[in-house]
A and B are shown apart, each in its own frame.
Chain A
């Protein structure tokens, strides 16, 4: 299958006065598993559908490979799309569903049969070929929808929240399956989701969207460790944000919170903004004071299995601290006075 990249140039889309997509620019590499991540209403689905050709025509260019597809009818674009509801046609058997696209392309029926069988093998559901969609489970339907799409060998694969209708346990299994398949086929894939865990665990790179604007593009690690905005920081993982300002005293950079607490910053840290982002797992909690520690009081604790999560009021706000639940650790009770030490190596100032 030929690999095609997707280039989105300066795409604008508005419904009346509402701007749904604003100044979107993206470069997706051939063979990449790319995610659009964002809250609902962020425009991620709209962008995906614009690539597929559904919805009103946007301004700008969308290149699949080197072909600008803006304004082209959906049936001429050769993009494969898996819908959130899977959209299997209830009046046709699994085999007929999967073979539909081939039939539209006037492939001879003997060949259709072979290709359909192959596609069903790929998703490991060959034994269900003659069933009707209403006899399939959610996960099976999704895999059939996928088979239906890949069998026509599209240039790119678009997945619109494919896992949101599945049970939690199935979701984990299915996202690994999806990734495996994608690697196997090498198809450029865009995966739309509002769940950052899904995005984190599957994609090579992702774009975070909010209110129709791309906030940041990068690998999951980059976006997590080096968010470029508070929104991104908040969206990926839990973030503690303390207000204050950066000070330089005697050659050392440090961050002074509103409440006057001092947090040392590494020498190579950049950023002059008024917020510092601290991840819960980078803060240690203790009953004893240490240098540079923040005093606080435990408001609440939650048992998360592998972590104990403390909500501590400190620094003028509520700070989330995750402590690894290892054998033999000290469980701090609610209401206790504690001291927090932040490992600011990975802190980000925005």
Chain B
């Protein structure tokens, strides 16, 4: 019987009831859950980030409030340069990623193209390679004396500085992140109601004019959403510039300052503040842009643009473009594979010889890494879907005060770069000891799992929200009208119906947490606590370890690939289940 049942309340007559309402609010289980989650997010997200922000505004010697650190930051040319470089790299990555994604999106949505499966897989392949792992492989293929340049120099006498300085970062990031733009752009192009296009054709427009005046503006919101996401992720990424030795960008500077000068260095915090502020601004800008322009709901139907068949010459160009991009996209995977099976690869287009020894070495040395990864990512993903489901329910089904805030708070984690979260945790938890032991909390392995959990929460939350939105409120109400309490109806009706989405969210959370590096690298204290991503980083630090590191990288790729495929499969199956007779 629920707490709101009058009999129940009556039986609690006494002191509690005579106290004013606001002192002892009528708390149901859902209320308690909301409060608990709020505290969790506060302690694991807001407080560490706030700590970081505060330190940036403090004088390091006296602790007094000051803007001096920021002044110092902007007066220092290195930092100004890093700021500009981060901005430049992020923007250029968006540009290059668009250049890759746009033709692909256009080909799939505009034409009957039998290679569409190919393009869909293009959208998936880069995402399964953690970018920092890809960076190493890209160096081998596109570096100064990598495969491509050696061959170019031999055959044609020139080389292309693909990987010099910032270019390398831009190249690796664009190839890794263009799927975001491809997926969003394809979706918004596909969402364009065919009659939008036909109406324009009917009134005399076609070709490029049509694209410019009608198609592109309608696809813009989707594109902007994807582009903003790419921008933030590149801006905040630590692993790729680190492994490419590019230090004059914001994230690596923050990492280097904190790790070499210490957690008392104010500059690391100033950079963190800038990273966070910029991320939040980008997110906000993209939301602003999207608001009022959600064209999907204004158009009735969709159906996408009219497709036509490709003429012969166009077919050749289309296939050519797709295959070229495919090769580009596969190059890090290819390089990694070669490295993992290679003996020695030095100043040559290909390794000297091939062997399985690296895999053996990797296996012998990585059992701890793999077990840790399963543990951390497992905990992170489990917590993510639990909290995600709870928040989704609270936001969509209850009227609890501040529920929107819960949503925003959880989603805000998107704007916090991994490196900042890591620094925040170090700072916040290093003075606290783990209960019952002498270990400072900052070096406790659980912190790593919690950081992963927070970082992946926004995605899990979105998955859970989407899953819950598909469960009509009427289903719950039907259960309640037949006598089930709120809790039982959630348990027996809502959650089972959300299973597909929850499972998909779990799998994605797990797979991406398994290869996170930015926060991990700040928080890992000892090799026995290290997960996969850190393990790869460690392997790459020794001459004999590169092959094994690559082998471990392949393992990481496989983990993410399986996770992504499984998640897709679950969603598809779930869709089929729901599509029969579900229309309202």
Of A133, A152, A165, the residue contacting B298 (CB under 8 A) is A133
Count chain B CB atoms within 10 A of each CB in A74, A100, A149 and give the residue with the most: A74
* Chain A 22-71 interface residues, beta-carbon cutoff 8 Å to B: 52-54
Of A87, A104, A133, A145, the residue contacting B205 (CB under 8 A) is A104
A83 touching B203 in the complex, CB below 8 Å, given contacts A54-B306, A104-B209:
no
Q: Mark A287-328, 1 if CB is under 8 A from B, else 0.
A: 000000000000000000000000000000000000000000
Q: How far is the CA of A75 from the CA of B197 in the complex (A)?
A: 11
* Chain B 92-135 interface residues, beta-carbon cutoff 8 Å to A: none
A75, B204: Cβ atoms closer than 8 Å: yes
Q: How far is the CA of A91 from the CA of B216 in the complex (A)?
A: 11
- Chain B interface residue count: which class? 20 to 34
B204, A83: Cβ atoms closer than 8 Å: no
Q: How far is the CA of A67 from the CA of B217 in the complex (A)?
A: 35
B202, A81: Cβ atoms closer than 8 Å: yes
A85 touching B299 in the complex, CB below 8 Å, given contacts A91-B217, A91-B218, A104-B203:
yes
Please indicate the chain A residues that have their CB under 8 angstroms from the CB of B196 in the complex: 87, 89
- A345 an interface residue at 8 Å Cβ cutoff? no
A83 touching B199 in the complex, CB below 8 Å, given contacts A90-B299, A133-B298:
yes
Q: How far is the CB of B289 from chain A (nearest CB, A)?
A: 12
Q: How far is the CA of A106 from the CA of B318 in the complex (A)?
A: 33
Of A90, A91, A104, the residue contacting B204 (CB under 8 A) is A104
Q: How far is the CB of A102 from chain B (nearest CB, A)?
A: 9
State how many residues of chain A have any CB contact under 8 Å with chain B.
Answer: 28
Please indicate the chain A residues that have their CB under 8 angstroms from the CB of B204 in the complex: 75, 78, 101, 104-105, 152
A74, B202: Cβ atoms closer than 8 Å: yes
Please indicate the chain B residues that have their CB under 8 angstroms from the CB of A83 in the complex: 195, 198-199
- B214 an interface residue at 8 Å Cβ cutoff? yes
- B300 an interface residue at 8 Å Cβ cutoff? yes
Count chain A CB atoms within 10 A of each CB in B195, B213, B293, B299 and give the residue with the most: B195
Q: Could you write out 16 A-B pairs with CB less than 8 Å apart?
A: A73-B206, A75-B203, A78-B204, A84-B195, A85-B193, A85-B195, A87-B196, A89-B200, A89-B217, A91-B293, A100-B203, A104-B203, A105-B204, A145-B199, A152-B204, A165-B300
Of A87, A90, A148, the residue contacting B198 (CB under 8 A) is A87
A87, B195: Cβ atoms closer than 8 Å: yes
Considering the complex, give the chain B residue whose CB is closest to the CB of A74: B201
Sample of 19 further A-B pairs with CB below 8 A, known A85-B299, A87-B199? A73-B201, A73-B206, A75-B201, A81-B198, A81-B199, A83-B199, A85-B195, A85-B300, A87-B195, A87-B198, A89-B214, A89-B218, A90-B298, A100-B213, A104-B209, A134-B298, A145-B199, A149-B202, A152-B204
A80, B202: Cβ atoms closer than 8 Å: yes
Inter-chain CB contacts under 8 Å: number: 75
Please indicate the chain B residues that have their CB under 8 angstroms from the CB of A277 in the complex: none
Q: How far is the CA of A90 from the CA of B199 in the complex (A)?
A: 13
- B60 an interface residue at 8 Å Cβ cutoff? no
A75 touching B198 in the complex, CB below 8 Å, given contacts A87-B193, A89-B218, A91-B293:
no
A52 touching B205 in the complex, CB below 8 Å, given contacts A85-B299, A87-B196, A89-B214:
no
- A276 an interface residue at 8 Å Cβ cutoff? no
- A79 an interface residue at 8 Å Cβ cutoff? yes
- B295 an interface residue at 8 Å Cβ cutoff? yes
- B43 an interface residue at 8 Å Cβ cutoff? no
Count chain B CB atoms within 10 A of each CB in A78, A87, A101 and give the residue with the most: A87
Considering the complex, give the chain B residue whose CB is closest to the CB of A52: B202
Q: How far is the CA of A152 from the CA of B203 in the complex (A)?
A: 8
Q: How far is the CA of A84 from the CA of B300 in the complex (A)?
A: 10
B interface vs A, CB < 8 Å?
Answer: 193, 195-196, 198-206, 209, 213-214, 217-218, 220, 293, 295, 298-301, 306
Q: How far is the CA of A75 from the CA of B203 in the complex (A)?
A: 6
A interface vs B, CB < 8 Å?
Answer: 52-54, 73-75, 78-81, 83-85, 87, 89-91, 100-101, 104-105, 133-134, 145, 148-149, 152, 165
A75, B206: Cβ atoms closer than 8 Å: yes
Q: How far is the CB of B299 from chain A (nearest CB, A)?
A: 7
B205, A79: Cβ atoms closer than 8 Å: no
Please indicate the chain B residues that have their CB under 8 angstroms from the CB of A105 in the complex: 204
A79 touching B202 in the complex, CB below 8 Å, given contacts A84-B195, A85-B301:
yes
Q: How far is the CA of A149 from the CA of B195 in the complex (A)?
A: 14
Q: How far is the CA of A81 from the CA of B203 in the complex (A)?
A: 8
Please indicate the chain A residues that have their CB under 8 angstroms from the CB of B200 in the complex: 89, 100
Considering the complex, give the chain A residue whose CB is closest to the CB of B298: A90
Q: How far is the CB of B204 from chain A (nearest CB, A)?
A: 4
Please indicate the chain A residues that have their CB under 8 angstroms from the CB of B218 in the complex: 89-91
Considering the complex, give the chain B residue whose CB is closest to the CB of A145: B199
Shortest 7 CB-CB distances between A and B: which pairs? A101-B203, A87-B195, A104-B204, A87-B199, A90-B298, A83-B195, A74-B201
Considering the complex, give the chain B residue whose CB is closest to the CB of A84: B195
Of B202, B217, B306, the residue contacting A75 (CB under 8 A) is B202
Q: How far is the CB of A153 from chain B (nearest CB, A)?
A: 12
Please indicate the chain B residues that have their CB under 8 angstroms from the CB of A89 in the complex: 196, 199-200, 214, 217-218
Q: How far is the CA of A75 from the CA of B201 in the complex (A)?
A: 5
B295, A91: Cβ atoms closer than 8 Å: yes
Q: How far is the CA of A80 from the CA of B202 in the complex (A)?
A: 7
Please indicate the chain B residues that have their CB under 8 angstroms from the CB of A145 in the complex: 199
Please indicate the chain A residues that have their CB under 8 angstroms from the CB of B195 in the complex: 83-85, 87
Considering the complex, give the chain A residue whose CB is closest to the CB of B206: A75
Q: How far is the CA of A104 from the CA of B301 in the complex (A)?
A: 26
Considering the complex, give the chain A residue whose CB is closest to the CB of B297: A134
A90 touching B295 in the complex, CB below 8 Å, given contacts A74-B201, A81-B202:
yes
Q: How far is the CB of A10 from chain B (nearest CB, A)?
A: 25
Please indicate the chain B residues that have their CB under 8 angstroms from the CB of A133 in the complex: 298
Q: How far is the CA of A101 from the CA of B193 in the complex (A)?
A: 19
Q: How far is the CB of B46 from chain A (nearest CB, A)?
A: 36
Q: How far is the CA of A91 from the CA of B294 in the complex (A)?
A: 10
Q: How far is the CA of A81 from the CA of B201 in the complex (A)?
A: 10
Please indicate the chain B residues that have their CB under 8 angstroms from the CB of A85 in the complex: 193, 195, 299-301
Please indicate the chain A residues that have their CB under 8 angstroms from the CB of B293 in the complex: 90-91
Q: How far is the CA of A53 from the CA of B301 in the complex (A)?
A: 21
Count chain A CB atoms within 10 A of each CB in B196, B198, B206, B213 and give the residue with the most: B198
Q: How far is the CA of A165 from the CA of B36 in the complex (A)?
A: 47
Q: How far is the CB of A88 from chain B (nearest CB, A)?
A: 8
Q: How far is the CB of A135 from chain B (nearest CB, A)?
A: 10
Q: How far is the CB of B22 from chain A (nearest CB, A)?
A: 41
